[in-house]
Amino acid sequence: MIAYDESNRLFFLETPHTSYILGIVDEEGFPGQVYYGARVPREDVSYLMRTKEPPFVPSENARERGSFLDRFPSEYPGNALGDYREGAAEVLDGDGHRAVQFLYKEHRIYDGKPGLEGLPATFAKENEAQTLELVLEDPVLRLRAVLLYTVFADTDAIVRSVRLVNDSDRPVRIEKVMSLALDLEPEESLGPWQVLTLHGSWARERQMDFRPLGYGKTSVGSTKGESSHQEHPFLGLASAGITQESGIIYGFHFLYSGNFLAQAEKTQFDSVRILLGIHPANFEWTLAPGEHFQAPEAVCVCSLQGLGGMSRSLHDLYRGHLIRSPYLHKERPILINNWEATYFDFNTEKLLSIAREAKKSGIEMLVMDDGWFGKRDDDNSGLGDWTVNEKKLPGGLKYLVEEVNRIGLKFGIWMEPEMISPDSDLYRAHPDWAIAIPGRVPCRSRNQFVLDLSNPQVEEYVWSCIESVLGSANIAYLKWDMNRQLTDLGSAYLPADRTGELCHRYMLAVYRLQERLITRFPDLLLENCSGGGARFDPGMLYYSPQIWCSDDTDAVERLGIQEGTALLYPLSTMGAHVSDCPNHTVGRVTPFRTRGHVALSGTFGYELDITRIPEEDRAQIPAQVATYHRLHELVREGDYYRIASFRDNGFYDCWMSVRKDRSEALLTFVQVRNRPNAVSRRIRIPGLDPAKIYRIEGEIPGEPAPEVLCHGQALSGAVLANAGILLKNPWGDFGSILLHLREMA
Ligand code: GLA
């Protein structure tokens, strides 16, 4: 998987279908990016670095050293020494200089994949992956950059990370350290590059956005202390005319939950420099002699099969090498959450009435959301005071949970452990525990502040609250929320010259707390959340197998949100619930059946007052529950194919999960908007085995789907992929169809 050609000083990193080649050039040892694309034989392709054309390498033409540095496809570019493209690292040395340049020192290749100290990271067994440890050094600063590259045997992904080590006898301040830099050569044959990013807002997270790559820098980022609703730590570079199943896309995804920068810079020579890492704004880190800094991991994927190929590589990487939860391959309990049912207005009796009714329909877990603790009747107070409000819940958690268990449901709970309300006992006792700048009135958001988790005492307090809540009753599930972003970046704990470390130290503390949580409560099902999906990122997936996707549960809005999310993440990670109508976020009314179909492509659950919804809706729940039990494994473990996007066509959405052995598939079709005088819709179904024959069933097992025009006919995977099927248009807007394709015995 990884080989070194010593005579040509080339490293070959190979995944099943791609090659990533880097080389070392000249006596000084400049590390260069040679090739990243379809898998190629191990031949001498070092000519691609253009070191044999003017201005040549410095040893042959020191007169034009600047031209060389500004053109060379550098593997980890530094700063202020002649390469004017944006560099991957910047440091401030003891003399006030910011220059840095990393050159080859040594390397090691080994089986397996090391973890990253204090950070989420992919993992693999010895026989599943190989790692190249490429050690670079700035000989003047005596600063080492240890670059790790891991390739996996079973997915077309490569992960990279960087550790900076101060080998000098003076402190050095890191002002920027990107986890990934990649110089891609001009690719005229692929047509003008398109940049793909996921943008959003509260309640409309991760919407796909394509734009042509122009000259200069195109970037997305977050400086909010979390990966954010607005931008996603991902950047894709796609060939012109990319489709779901054709064209090339390079995808870069950051395995981190805090501030990030993802940037593509198109240069004077039409090459493209990609950078991905912790956002340099509001970031500094001082390294004393001998100390090191570990930057988070970045994922690179090169898909030769369009967007779908990228999605499937990432899904396999995250399911196989990132998510550790024991629930990863298990059926998740169907939960009912009381947030949209009651908001803050509930008590034990109300919750038990929901639980009783839920039990009758086959629902398996009650989740009690915000409002059960401290003085918390609205969102103006109480965060930090994690003791049960006995006025709402007489007898406390223990009584409530025992009663819920007695009804036959598991119990889950909501917490927002990183926060503090100004109106809380905690704040009155420890005002200095909130992130704030002395002399400035801190900015409130949802009337709350963020706890200063860079302070170990605060971290310990937070842990003690979590531990005592979860230890006080039989709690099977935790929804860990984070409802505001960081501002007023000051810490009463950190010394003045360390304030720039606050955001990253905060993130490291969140990771430590979650690690502690899953170690202490190994059977707990953890669902991360952040005002909906503002911290839906690969970093959090290392701790929780699922993340609440969005506060928007409208079936139509969810199409775009879930499409953007599934572009990168397995469906099994997407928290998705059926809620009541008119929808609480957009006021839209959609059929209960469609809401069920859309939520079935996520973790599946309910978020409504089951005691009050219309009887005709409630009556559908047992069948939805049965469908979930029948198909959950296919959705959770299958390969994802996107067939059509409402985003593109303005009428309908269609996607599919295919079992890895191609023996069955689940296709979901949602007609958002009906159209007069339309013929039936032709749907080509990719991803099946061309030689196998499939029967097309609907929701009733064994019954042919009535919506398919070739009703009752069995068809080969080849016909389904190429000729396709015809689907009758559902009547009205927002109708949906579920097709279950099964290989005939
Ligand atoms: C966030 C979550 C919601 C709910 C509320 C409670 O917005 O995303 O699901 O838990 O907080 O305050």
Which tens digit of pLDDT belongs to each residue from 593-616? 999 999 999 999 999 999 999 999
Helix (H) or strand (E) segment spanning residue 316: helix 306-321
User: Where do we find the tokens 């080590």?
Assistant: 165
**pTM greater than 0.75:** yes
**What pLDDT is attached to residue 189?**
83
CA-nearest of 375, 370, 373 to 393 is 373
d(CA 195, CA 211) in angstroms, rounded, equals 5
Return left, alpha or beta for 692; rule: phi > 0 is left, psi -120 to 50 is alpha, else beta: beta
Confidence of residue 505 (pLDDT cuts 50, 70, 90): very high
Which band of pLDDT confidence, cut at 50, 70 and 90, is reported for residue 246? very high
Nearest CA to ligand 1 atom 6: 370
CB 503 within 8 A of CB 225: yes
**pLDDT digit string, tens, across residues 694-704:** 999 999 999 99
Cα three-residue angle 307-310-316, rounded to 5 degrees = 140
- Rounded distance between C-alpha atoms, residue 276 and residue 236, angstroms: 11
Q: Verify whether residue 169 is a known catalytic residue.
A: no
pLDDT confidence of residue 315: 98
pLDDT recorded at residue 47: 97
- With tokens 């054309």, the residue in question is 53
Mean pLDDT across 265-277 = 97
Q: Assign domain 641-743 to its CATH superfamily.
A: Golgi alpha-mannosidase II (2.60.40.1180)
Residue 519 φ/ψ, nearest 5 degrees: -80, -45
> Does the structure show a pLDDT above 90 at 188?
no
Taking every pair of Cα atoms in the chain, the longest distance, rounded to a whole number of angstroms, is 82
Ligand 1 proximity of 370 Cβ (cutoff 6 Å): yes
Tokens of 137: 């050094």
Per-residue pLDDT band for 193 (boundaries 50, 70, 90) equals: very high
- How far apart are alpha carbons 399 and 448 in whole angstroms? 30
Annotated catalytic residue, options 551, 609, 639, 653: 551
pLDDT score of 699: 92
pLDDT at residue 427 greater than cutoff 90:
yes
Give the mean pLDDT of the chain. Answer: 97
Confidence of residue 431 (pLDDT cuts 50, 70, 90): very high
Ligand 1 site, residue 418, Cβ cutoff 6 A: no
Q: What is the pLDDT of residue 716?
A: 98
Tell me the residue type at 132: L
Helix, coil or strand: residue 121: coil
For residues 462 and 451, is the Cβ–Cβ distance under 8 A?
A: yes
Q: Are 401 and 473 in contact (CB under 8 A)?
A: yes
Distance separating alpha carbons of residues 210 and 267, to the nearest angstrom? 20
The answer to whether 488 is a known catalytic residue is no
- Domain ranges for the chain: 2-321, 641-743
Pairing verdict, β 693-697 and 216-222: unpaired
What lies within 8 Å, CB to CB, of 28 at 6+ separation is 58, 59, 103
Q: So what's the architecture of 2-321 in CATH?
A: Distorted Sandwich (2.70)
Residue 711 has pLDDT above 90, yes or no: no
- Asked if residue 554 has pLDDT above 90, the reply is yes
pLDDT (0 to 100) of residue 656: 98
Question: Residue 286 pLDDT more than 90?
Answer: yes
Q: Is the pLDDT confidence value at 187 over 90?
A: no
Q: For 504-512, what is the mean pLDDT?
A: 98
**Per-residue pLDDT tens digits for 26-79:** 999 999 999 999 999 999 999 999 999 999 999 999 999 999 999 999 999 999
Which of 342, 368, 369 most suits a substitution to test ligand 1, by most atoms within 8 Å of the C-beta? Answer: 369
pLDDT band at 712 (very low <50, low <70, confident <90, very high): confident
User: Which whole number is the average pLDDT over 625-651?
Assistant: 98
Which residue do the tokens 């169907």 mark? 334
pLDDT of residue 191: 83
Taking 90 as the threshold, does the pLDDT of residue 165 lie above it? yes
**For residue 414, how far is its CA from the centre of ligand 1 (angstroms)?**
9
Q: What is the DSSP string of 388-457?
A: B-TTTSTTHHHHHHHHHHHHT-EEEEEE-TTEE-SSSHHHHH-GGGB---TTSPPPPBTTBEEB-TTSHH
pLDDT score at 83: 98
pLDDT of residue 537: 98
Residue at 526: amino acid letter: L
Count CB-CB contacts under 10 A for residue 623.
15
- Contact 531 CB / ligand 1 (< 6 Å): yes
The per-residue pLDDT for 186 is 84
